[in-house]
A and B are shown apart, each in its own frame.
Chain A
């Protein structure tokens, strides 16, 4: 660990020197780095698919959709929009301030730390990095030790594509994270669990470092079957895709559980079953299309959730597990007890509880009684219900009639609220996430208004009163001595 401390010190010093040199502030440097990221992904498509398969058993198409393709798109958007993003924003000043001008310019924070997560080890590492680079920062990335092949790949490949005096990768687990957190950073970007998020923020407080915390939560999916009965075919596909299609439910925006009216529950389950079969065949374990559970520890966590006898009793589909292959079968539960662990922690795995309500309108109260989730999904065509969901619940985002796809929409800020995190990124928001908005007023020394200065008297008070009301005509009268 002593050696690691030395490495961290050395890396930080080098990054700070690079930042101080001003190199990373130039738009040209930023663009070169973004281009290099795109090139790196293009050149290493196969290798990246391989490491993702090794770490998580992700199919290469899934890997492309959720990680490689996503990163390329994000880098391309940044590359194409950067000139627009860096332009200072002019602001209007009251006439009284003439001839002063006001503007806001975005300046890089300096040296930032990105701590990423194992479930999307490539995209959750590179996507924040794209934001940090766009904003002109130097970056240190620590990828998760739970996806070791991806972490090693990034540590090995990034230095050969990107400016390695400004962008660095360090590998390691919690002990390395602890060393990193003892240092002062200008911003910390973390993706992971609320438990670790609290530790990160407490460490950041020591140095007054701003943080972005991308956490998770139990994302509910409401199915209002009354208004969408015609579209159930695509709905069950979308739900299945959102539960099992993306890293086997190990995603912070996965469908966590479904809320549906009692009378419709069994039809929903009957419709989900064939979709699972069409996705993964008769034997999902061998299909190659279902990611595996990341580690033994997580496998055991899931089996603990499922082995609660009351939860066992609620299994209506699936339920089989294979510890050696870290495989959990796509599983559906009907009404597991609400006080069970599975209904109180983020599931982060291929298990889908279906909770029934008497009336689907009750789903709002149900969701409000739990911590604010990262996303709420609602399948409904009832406009009134949509408005109710929007105005009465709180969540990072809301998607109507689909799941997870808001992540792909870079015009929308992505981030949580409450337990699901703080701060936001994606698209322009990534740039803003890593920028300080510096307000600047440029005055002139040529003109000066006497009433601004002491000694104070009643004339000056009247003047200032009028000025604040922007009552210019009365001001003129006052100046001419025509107004008392």
Chain B
């Protein structure tokens, strides 16, 4: 095995038809050739594949590689960027035909490899098949279909009105690709968060390097394999790896960096981008609150909260419900409803439920466990609290009024723990939200229109759903992105296209109607006409032009 892995250090480089191409022997194909016992490791975590999962797709076998020596350094990163830049400069990725063909290949890839992808997600996160389909595959597919359908419209230059100051002229806004872009994705929705931005980058005609998260290794290597199989390798590449590889990539000059992950790394990415004046999109997270009023349909509200917490990758989602705020009187009722619905969803023993994802690795498992065991927190558990370390499972857990200073209320939880904060009246909940950094999403459950308006007006967040959780993210008509601590920039649907495009203003002028007004030598008459023109006062301008002044 070791020997085979060393082969991975070799890269082949050849030129074909003026297009440079580096071929990296990939680990997946090597692993495939050997029939080594299957072991799986994810960023320090360790677990064996449950026997009931029949592996029909061997592509994901590459996860056997436990610690791969880093072969991708700054030099190689520089070569890669150079190569992609040369290929971008040929103008090929800019063409409509290229973009469409790549998008169609992505759609085809999702259709044909659905099973492989679902299995990789299962390996990385024990993600239930339907959840994987709902949250990752179908979302990505529909983004892709939308892009295919709309691309012509998106690419069409927008004609805008010009003013009397620049008369006679016509103007357009033309979108152009930025160039070579880097996408760094996250482990919690490793397929969606990788492919969705790639769709945007391709729609806009860029060359792309994708760095999937090493914490979801099965999906990462599957993406590397599938991309080279389905997409144009001369312009779309996957680089696998962890911190050293990411560092090597960030040292390069990109035309845009799109990052999904935590705020701490977000800062590092933006600081690295500053060196090259590279614009960034940072999709971060934050503590997303759900404010629940007492007038709601309990069952529906409880189910939607559960969907936004546990049925959403078991709380490991940047838009998942982080905590609930409700009134003191209503809290017991809400908690009862949550308990009942949790039972319907995940059965008597949720640790055994196959409808719940596991915690991604033992690092995060321990983090969540210690969060739960903290002083003053452990005694606040009113439901759940069970853990199963070998399977990396934590049962849906509800806590009431954990102390404000606890790490559970200070950090993004990113797991199946749901603290409920009680306030004496619902409006006080605003203050609880506003006293924290701006979250990526904020949720409100109420039928009270007035409260809805106040919430929309006064709470700042990336996006919001009223009487819903998470669903706003699936709407391609709405921009998805954070504000403040929850991020910079937005994407989804047309916004993805725009995120990866530069909007170039184009002004067409004719040579008629040139007047000396604009030019020196300057005279008081010229100033008078200019004044009228700048205030769009055509009549005044004509008067002034003939030597009359409205002022005189």
Residues of A whose CB lies within 8 Å of any CB of B are: 22, 25, 59-62, 64-65, 69-70, 72-73, 76, 91-94, 97, 100, 102, 104-105, 107, 109-110, 186, 194, 197-199, 201-202, 204-206, 208, 210, 213, 215, 228, 231, 234-235, 237-238, 240-241, 244-245, 278-281, 287-290, 368, 390-392, 394-402, 405-406, 408-414, 417-419, 421-424, 436-446, 448, 452-456, 460-461, 464-465, 468
Min CB distance A56 to B, Å, is 14
CB distance from B358 to the nearest CB of A (A): 15
Q: Is the CB of B169 within 8 A of A439?
A: no
A selection of 11 A-B contacts at a CB cut-off of 8 Å is A61-B526, A73-B534, A104-B478, A208-B485, A395-B504, A410-B163, A412-B173, A439-B475, A441-B471, A454-B345, A455-B355
Q: In the complex, what distance in Å separates the CA atom of A135 from the CA atom of B174?
A: 25
Q: Does any Cβ of A come within 8 Å of B313's Cβ?
A: no
Closest to A69 in B: B534
B7 is an interface residue with CB less than 8 A from chain A: no
The interface size bin for chain B is: 35 or more
Tell whether, in the assembled complex, residue A446 and residue B297 are in contact, meaning their CB atoms are under 8 Å apart.
yes
Given A73-B534, A399-B506, the answer on whether A197 and B277 have CB atoms closer than 8 Å is: yes
CB distance from B114 to the nearest CB of A (A): 10
Known: A409-B162, A413-B505. 11 other contacts (CB 8 A): A69-B535, A102-B477, A105-B456, A240-B519, A287-B520, A394-B502, A424-B503, A441-B468, A444-B467, A445-B301, A453-B307
Structural contact, A400 and B531, CB atoms closer than 8 A: no
Partner of B160, one of A61, A70, A411: A411
Report if A93-B477 is in contact (Cβ < 8 Å); known contacts: A208-B487, A453-B311: yes
Measured between alpha carbons, how far is A482 from B490 in the docked complex, in Å? 42
A residues in contact with B487, CB < 8 Å = 208
Listed from nearest, the 4 A-B pairs whose CB atoms lie closest are: A412-B505, A61-B522, A205-B270, A201-B274
Would you call A409 and B483 a contact (CB within 8 A)?
A: no
Residues on the A chain within 8 Å of B142, using CB: 468
Which residues does chain B contribute within 8 Å of A288, judged by CB atoms? 522
| Residues B166 and A405 in contact, CB atoms below 8 Å apart | yes
Indicate if B134 sits at the interface (CB-CB under 8 A): yes
Contact of A468 with B270 at beta-carbon distance under 8 Å, contacts A72-B535, A440-B466 already known: no
Q: How distant is the Cα of A407 from the Cα of B458 in the complex, in angstroms?
A: 35
Q: Distance (Å) between the CB of A59 and the closest chain B CB?
A: 5
Are A60 and B527 closer than 8 Å at their CB atoms?
yes
A237 and B270 in contact, given A440-B456, A468-B142 (Cβ under 8 angstroms): no
A110–B437 CA distance with the chains assembled, in angstroms: 13
CB proximity of A97 to chain B, nearest CB, Å: 7
Q: Which of A206, A402, A405, A448 contacts B267 (CB 8 A)?
A: A206
B273 interface residue per 8 A CB criterion: yes
Q: How far is A59 from B527 in the complex, measured between Cα atoms in Å?
A: 11
Who on chain B is nearest to A238 by CB? B514
CB distance A411 to B162 under 8 Å? Answer: yes
Q: Given the known A-B contacts A287-B521, A289-B520, A413-B503, are A205 and B165 also in contact in the complex, defined by CB atoms under 8 Å? A: no
CB-defined contacts of A240 to chain B, threshold 8 Å = 519
* Chain B positions 457-504 with a Cβ under 8 Å from a chain A Cβ: 457-458, 460-468, 471-472, 475, 477-480, 483-485, 487-490, 502-504
The interface residues of chain B lying within 8 Å CB-to-CB of A280 are 520-521
Cβ B507 vs Cβ A400 within 8 A = yes
> Contacts of B460 on A, CB cut-off 8 Å?
107, 110, 436, 438
B303 within 8 A of A: yes
Known: A72-B534, A400-B508, A443-B466. A411 touches B163 (CB 8 A): yes
User: Are B507 and A279 within 8 A (Cβ)?
Assistant: no
List residues of chain B with CB within 8 A of the CB of A368.
Answer: 89
A102–B475 contact, CB under 8 A? yes
CB–CB B141/A468 < 8 A = yes
Please name all residues of chain B whose beta carbon is closer than 8 Å to the beta carbon of A59 when the two chains form the complex: 520, 522
